[in-house]
Structure 1
Amino acid sequence: MKRRAILAGITALLAPRSLIAQTPSRDGPRRLGVLMGNLADDPVGQSYTASLMQGLRALDWREGANLRIDWRWAGGDPALFDRYATELVELGSDVLLAQSSPSVVALRRKTSTIPIVFTMVTDPVGQGFVENLARPGGNITGFSDFNSLMAGKWLEMLTQVAPPVARVAVLYNPATAPYAGLMMRAVEDAAPSFAITAQSAPCRDAAEIQSVMAELAREGRGGLLVLTDIFTIVHRDTILASAAQHRLPTVYFARSFTTAGGLMSYGIDYAELFLRSADYIDRILKGASPRDLPVQQPTKFELVINLKTAKERGISLSTTLLATADEVIE
């Protein structure tokens, strides 16, 4: 894809370029600090950073030339989030990119002046990161990953399997998903429409994940909904293996779970969020203030089904569900 085409794609839905001031005068390369929540060797996390780099190159930023990037990977470890946030601030970053809520929490403890662009964050207003979506105020803005309408779609998908799901356990870690209450309310509000009972299933380690799924399987007609959370991302393999062991119908928030063997997913394209975040980084490096850059809400969603997994587990999927999928893995 040519550079102009890429640039057009990542800026089409963003705020007007009139927000951008002239590039401040400064000798030498600018400095970007990136605090990732994934493990460093996670291919999915690497695909996100590749998208970020694609976006930056489209805007004429070159790592090692006019831009220095300091990468940190916390792997879901609270101590590492705090340690790496301190390092990135002390390195004198011009702008910081924060993947996931724990990254934002750690960075905002260390600085109230260095601009922070977040991505893969749910309910930034409720978490106190920004004053409002249109005018964030302060030094933080970015890209949110949740729309309450997603909850209804997740439950609807679980009603289109045979045998049908009657109870749904919603898996997340309260420590890394403080916004889970908002998502649970959306799920509980939608549940009666589908004759489903939804229950919270907080987990803090691999053993609790396995215990939740074993209990769900024993009770029968159970399904699982995995929320967006750096904990579920880091424990992806454990979740996938346990869901396969107990043959549970499961809906995930991201295609990365489905392509790795999960049953089905509905959510946004997270790699695209990183691609689009390059535009806000560019604007800030050229003088724009985060307080004037509106928080972007998700508008494009994708439904992915792993038909191979369904057949292996003896799960039948409705023709309607298959027909509406953006991708069917066979």
Structure 2
Amino acid sequence: MKKWIKGMAAAGIASAVLLAGCGGETEEKGQESSGGNKEKTYKIGVTQIVEHPSLDNAYKGFQKALEDAGIKADYDVQIAQGDQNNNQTIANNFAGDKVDLIFANSTPSATGALNATKDIPIVFTSVTDPKAAGLVKDPQNPGGNITGTTDLHPEAIPKTIEFMAKEFKGKNVGVIYNAGEQNSVAQVEEVKKVMEKNGLKMVPVTVSASSEVKQAAESLAGKADMIYIITDNTVVSALESVIQVANQKDIPLFVAELDSVKRGGFAAFGFEYYDIGYEAGEMAVKILKDGKKPGDLPVQPPQNLKLLINEKAAKEMNIEIKDEWKNEAEFVK
């Protein structure tokens, strides 16, 4: 049985990060199967910048895709706990260990992996704009040793902002993000453009760590009519802080993915991170099992998009559910 052992990085030891992998029942490389044939067990390094439900679900989807394809794997899972030094050390260690493939779960994780190796195949997910992040020159023809799935459906931001502008009276929208995440900067630039087209004004607040998120949310009280949380790993990892402020101040809280709606956000046009993780896993199967080169596999965006509304959150934020929303949205209680 595979087990994921979680823990914090030890202070002062850059390489002392979370380790996880298959338990004792996993076959060793080259160990004979019951039929007498030797089946390879692939060594897969999993690098993830922080822990939060969306990234965790993407990893579960990735594992399931390999399992469904009959691929045996040992997973070495390491979490950087938001620390860029740890993030690069993790990638360097995977390169030194000569793992068979690196699964990079987030933009910083993918960047660290690509900095560490140009030889080992890298499959990423939870990356918003791989071209802007410098991961690929052309998403349709990535080239090199990297490809993966993105976490931004082309219609997600426009649909969310159009919904805000059409269904709510306020014009000022607070956006909290980490300016150190390229993933976030790319989204914020797009959000600002779309808001301006829809007559909304963005009220940006930047943070550098999850411990700053609550104060950032509190600073928006009286300034923002709504709050929109993009797929920023720093902020999403501390989403409960934003939810608390939104509930207390009756500020509609829009989020960028469905897991954050389930945690207490009001609404999102989004998709399941499990699905993009699974799709990334299917790419890994093509690389490991079929001998495909990562650079020949086009980067793939999310395939499904839907509106999800949290009824309990709506009540907490003093939002009245309109009848017409019921024809468009799915609901969680």
TM-score scaled by length of structure 1:
0.82
Q: Which residue of 2 aligns with 1:49?
A: 59
User: Structure 1 stretch 91-100 or stretch 26-35: which is displaced more?
Assistant: 26-35
> After the TM superposition, which residues 188-207 of structure 1 pair with which residues of structure 2 at under 5 Å, given as runs?
188-206=192-210
Q: Is the 8 A contact 1:148 1:183 kept in 2?
A: no
> After the TM superposition, which residues 46-195 of structure 1 pair with which residues of structure 2 at under 5 Å, given as runs?
46-62=56-72, 67-161=73-167, 164-175=169-180, 177-195=181-199
Unaligned stretches of 5+ in structure 1? 1-25
Amino acid at match of 2:93: E
Q: The residue matched to 2:312 in structure 1 has which SS?
A: helix
In the alignment, the residues of structure 2 paired with residue 243 and residue 97 of structure 1 have an alpha-carbon distance, to the nearest angstrom, of: 35
Q: Is the 8 A contact 2:59 2:105 kept in 1?
A: no
Q: Which runs of 4+ in 1 moved over 6 A?
A: none
In the alignment, the residues of structure 1 paired with residue 211 and residue 225 of structure 2 have an alpha-carbon distance, to the nearest angstrom, of: 19
Aligned length: 295
Shift of the alpha carbon at 1:182?
3.1
Q: The residue matched to 2:124 in structure 1 has which SS?
A: strand
Q: Is the 8 A contact 1:262 1:309 kept in 2?
A: yes
TM-score scaled by length of structure 2:
0.81
In the alignment, the residues of structure 2 paired with residue 308 and residue 228 of structure 1 have an alpha-carbon distance, to the nearest angstrom, of: 22
Structure 1 residues 127 and 215, CA gap change in structure 2 (3 angstroms): same
In the alignment, the residues of structure 1 paired with residue 273 and residue 216 of structure 2 have an alpha-carbon distance, to the nearest angstrom, of: 27
Q: The residue matched to 2:324 in structure 1 has which SS?
A: helix
Q: The residue matched to 1:202 in structure 2 has which SS?
A: strand
In the alignment, the residues of structure 2 paired with residue 224 and residue 43 of structure 1 have an alpha-carbon distance, to the nearest angstrom, of: 20
Q: Percent identity?
A: 25
Unaligned stretches of 5+ in structure 2? 1-37
Amino acid at match of 2:301: Q
Q: Is the 8 A contact 1:134 1:294 kept in 2?
A: yes
Amino acid at match of 2:42: R
Q: The residue matched to 1:53 in structure 2 has which SS?
A: helix
> After the TM superposition, which residues 248-263 of structure 1 pair with which residues of structure 2 at under 5 Å, given as runs?
248-263=251-266
User: Structure 1 stretch 121-130 or stretch 235-244: which is displaced more?
Assistant: 235-244
Q: Which residue of 2 aligns with 1:315?
A: 319
Which structure is richer in relative contact order (CA contacts within 8 A, separation 6 or more)? 1
Amino acid at match of 2:174: A
Q: Is the 8 A contact 1:171 1:203 kept in 2?
A: yes
In the alignment, the residues of structure 2 paired with residue 207 and residue 120 of structure 1 have an alpha-carbon distance, to the nearest angstrom, of: 22
Q: Is the 8 A contact 2:213 2:238 kept in 1?
A: no
